[in-house]
Each structure stands twice: as structure tokens, then as C-alpha cells.
Amino acid sequence: MKRTFALAGVLSFLGLTGLCAQTDQRVWTLGGLEEKDADSIYLGYGVPETDDSLGSFTCAPGSGLVKIWVAETSDKLKAGDKATAILSVGEKTAKVAGKLVPNEEAGVPSFEGRLPAKDPIFAAMAGGETLDIAVGGAKRTAPLAAATEKFKKFAAACAKR
């Protein structure tokens, strides 16, 4: 549980404060696999050791369930409301039901939702070029090409055992 809260601060998955700020420095970071008794595996996209993050995927190893967190949505949305995130890789799309949570640093709510680890969107991420995320009127994009192996390892670690 402590790790999850720490991740939120570090990976703020998908914070875009200063959207133009150093987008080329964002990378996919995979963590938790190296720890024998890790309670959480995570994969996030952002600038390491900063609050600049698009969002993250987390799971308990072998749980079969992935938590999806998008750092910033839209100023037209309100924390506490239900929302749907649409993840797209090429023609493959997944709709993720969730809720909007406060993000005081960004001034707009973040999105939290869950999706089964076996959802086809994760296989698409492992082989796709770009991940598009839409929540309300907000749209975010992250390149996938350099993260193929990280997505494969993440999916394998999260798969239901």
C-alpha cells in the first residue's frame, strides 16, 4: 500500500503540467519486478524523478487486474464524478470505467480505473506504435516503440495465476 502512494507521487502515469516541457525526456519506467516480495508492479510514462507524468499502470503480481491512472484530464470534469477512459492502440480500443479524483497540483482531476490484465489492449501496447488516451475532452499520447519488452514483462507479471 505504501508503494502505491509513493508511485502516485513519483509517476503523477499519465502529469502533464507544462505540456511542452521536455516531452522528449519522457520514458516508460517499469518497476517492482526486481523485488522478490513486491506488492505492486508498475509501468508509467513520464520524466523520471519529476512530477511530469502522463500516467501509470499498476497491479498486484498475479492478480489479473490492472489499475490505470491518468494524471490529468480536463478542467470541464469534476473530481468525484464517474468517467470513462478510452485507450487506443491502432484499431484496438478499450473502454475503462472509473472515477475522477482530485489532483490539486494540476488543477484538474486525475482518472482512476481498472481493467483485466488479459484485456487485448495490453497485447496491442506490447506491439503498437502509439497509445492514445482520452478522458472527457482531454487527449494524451505516448509512444510505445521503445517499451515493447516492458509491456510484455508487465503483462506477464500481472496475469492471473
pLDDT tens digits, 21-43: 445 689 999 999 888 788 999 99
d(CA 89, CA 123): 10
Q: Which residue has the cell 490539486?
A: 104
Domain ranges of the chain: 27-158
Residues of the chain with pLDDT under 70: 1-24
Asked if the 27-158 domain carries CATH number 2.40.160, the reply is no
How far, in Å, are 19, 20, 37, 152 from residue 46 at the CA level? 11, 13, 25, 19
Give the whole-angstrom CA distance, residue 141 versus residue 130: 7
Under 8 Å CB-to-CB from 93, ≥6 apart: which residues? 86, 87, 121
Single pTM value for the model: 0.83
- 99-121 pLDDT, tens digit each: 999 998 889 999 999 999 999 99
State the pLDDT at residue 98. Answer: 98
Please state, as a whole number, how many other Cβ atoms lie within 10 Å of the Cβ of residue 119.
Answer: 15
Helical (H) or strand (E) element with 95 = strand 92-101
Q: What is the pLDDT of residue 15?
A: 40
Instruction: List the grid coordinates of 11.
Output: 509517476
